[in-house]
Amino acid sequence: MNRHLISAADLTRDDALLILDTADELARVSDRPIKKLPTLRGRTVVNLFFEDSTRTRISFEAAAKRLSADVINFSAKGSSVAKGESLKDTALTLEAMGADAVVIRHSASGAPQRLAGWVRGTVVNAGDGAHEHPTQALLDAFTIRRKFGRSSGPAPEGRLPGSRPSGGTALDGLRVTIVGDVLHSRVARSNAWLLTTLGAEVTLVAPPTLLPVAVGTWPCSVSYDLDAALPKSDVVMMLRVQQERMTDAYFPSVREYSRRYGLDAARMAQLPEQAIVMHPGPMNRGVEIAAEVADSARSTIVEQVTNGVSVRMAVLYLLLGGAEAQS
């Protein structure tokens, strides 16, 4: 894979498996008394956040710090961006400060791609508009793999402890249903591509008004009926209703949306026994997901946050840890 991580669609199956296997090993560091590795000592990672974010920014910061990188946090509020500085000028300023990697969150789709053309360092997309959020998709894939016992966990019986880890398998045959506001969701797009690359069968369920026009070009099937999809799902991923991005009336009322597309306890009961419920956060409890579902044993919402640090460590290590690519 290339020097940047802009889109989950750029990842080959081997790239994705390498990231997930690496994250499996790095997750074990979190269980140690000293949760730190010296690998990125002396390298600088800039978190460039033009949009509000709690978990993604903190997660990237924790990941970079566990690898001993220096972290500079930049948020648009209180910076020269508020005075009208352009993305390009901001990027060049960071470049002049010696940033080896820029982790960017921006409300404009394509901003990370532009940035990658302006800076010498590595660019990691931490969410751009309604386009992509590749590390979220990677941590979701990581969580699914662990939940279904496909990660490179303890070496199988008969294998040597510590010999090359067996390497986890992909997600072949797992049925993933992504439900809700697909139109505004970068998480849905990144997951649709990545999970399909890894062999899962992805189904989108949403009201017709909340599906993008070009959804036909996505590598997944589409349904409008949540109750029909649930019994055939190993994974249900609930999306946040992004009211802050809604400039139009996409559904009659929150209550009606919740009744048709929200996951409550009765709907959860239709899921197969082993199925899990995911949500990228932040949740609108009572809208797309009922509180009792979010707090149930099937919910992986807290694990997703924990896994995010390991996956982002893996991405930063693989992009920054070795020699610079020749391209």
CA distance 19 to 60: 15
Using rule CB under 8 A, residue 33 touches other proteins:
yes
Consecutive H or E run containing 89: helix 87-96
Q: How far is the CB of 165 from other proteins (least distance, A)?
A: 5
Q: Which residues pair with 235 in a beta bridge?
A: 176, 276
Nearest approach in angstroms of CB 160 to other proteins is: 5
Using rule CB under 8 A, residue 156 touches other proteins: no
Give the interface size with other proteins as a residue count (CB under 8 A): 31
> Closest CB to other proteins among 152 and 190?
152
Is residue 157 within the footprint of other proteins (CB under 8 A)? Answer: no
Q: Which stretch binds other proteins (CB under 8 A): 12-20, 75-83, 94-102, 136-144?
A: 12-20
Helix (H, G, I), strand (E, B) or coil at 73: strand
| The binder of other proteins chosen from 98, 117, 167, 199 (CB under 8 A) | 167
Task: For residue 243, give every residue at least 6 positions away whose Cβ sits within 8 Å of its Cβ, in sequence order, or none.
Answer: 284
Residue 70 interacts with other proteins (CB under 8 A): yes or no: no
Q: Which of 7, 8, 13, 26 binds other proteins (CB under 8 A)?
A: 26
Contacts of residue 16, Cβ cutoff 8 Å, sequence gap at least 6: 138, 141, 170, 194, 197, 198
User: Closest distance between other proteins and the C-beta of residue 59, in Å?
Assistant: 19
Closest to other proteins by CB, 9 vs 81, is 9
CA distance 285 to 289: 5
Closest approach, Cβ 317 to other proteins, in A, equals 6
162 binds other proteins (CB under 8 A): yes
Residue environment code for 86-122, b if the CB has 16+ CB neighbours within 10 A, otherwise e: ebeebbeebeeeebbbbbbbbeeeebbbbbbebbebb
321 makes contact with other proteins (CB under 8 A): yes
Q: Which residue is listed with tokens 């793999």?
A: 145
- Smallest separation (angstroms) from other proteins to the CB of 163: 5
Nearer to other proteins, 18 or 81 (CB): 18
Residue 325 engages other proteins in binding (rule: CB under 8 A) = yes
Shortest spacing between CB 308 and other proteins, in angstroms:
18
Question: Does 15 help bind other proteins (rule: CB under 8 A)?
Answer: yes
Check residue 165 for interaction with other proteins (CB under 8 A). yes
Interface with other proteins (CB under 8 A), residue from 60, 218, 250, 317: 317
CB atoms near residue 75 (< 10 Å): 16
Angle, CA 227 vertex, CA 224 and CA 233 arms, to 5°:
95
For residues 279 and 294, the answer to whether their CB atoms sit within 8 Å is yes
- Near other proteins by CB under 8 A, which window of 25-33, 103-111, 132-140, 303-311? 25-33
Task: Please name which of 220, 227, 240, 225 lies closest in space to residue 301, comparing C-alpha atoms.
Answer: 240
Q: Which among 17-25, 169-177, 223-231, 274-282 is the span making contact with other proteins, rule CB under 8 A?
A: 17-25
Closest of 196, 188, 177, 150 to residue 270, by C-alpha = 177
Q: Which stretch binds other proteins (CB under 8 A): 32-40, 176-184, 222-230, 296-304?
A: 32-40
Q: Does residue 39 touch other proteins according to CB under 8 A?
A: yes
DSSP 94-130: HHHTT-SEEEEEESSTTHHHHHHHH-SSEEEEEEETT
Binding site for other proteins (CB under 8 A): 1, 15, 18-19, 21-22, 25-26, 28, 32-34, 36-39, 155, 160-165, 167, 317-319, 321-323, 325
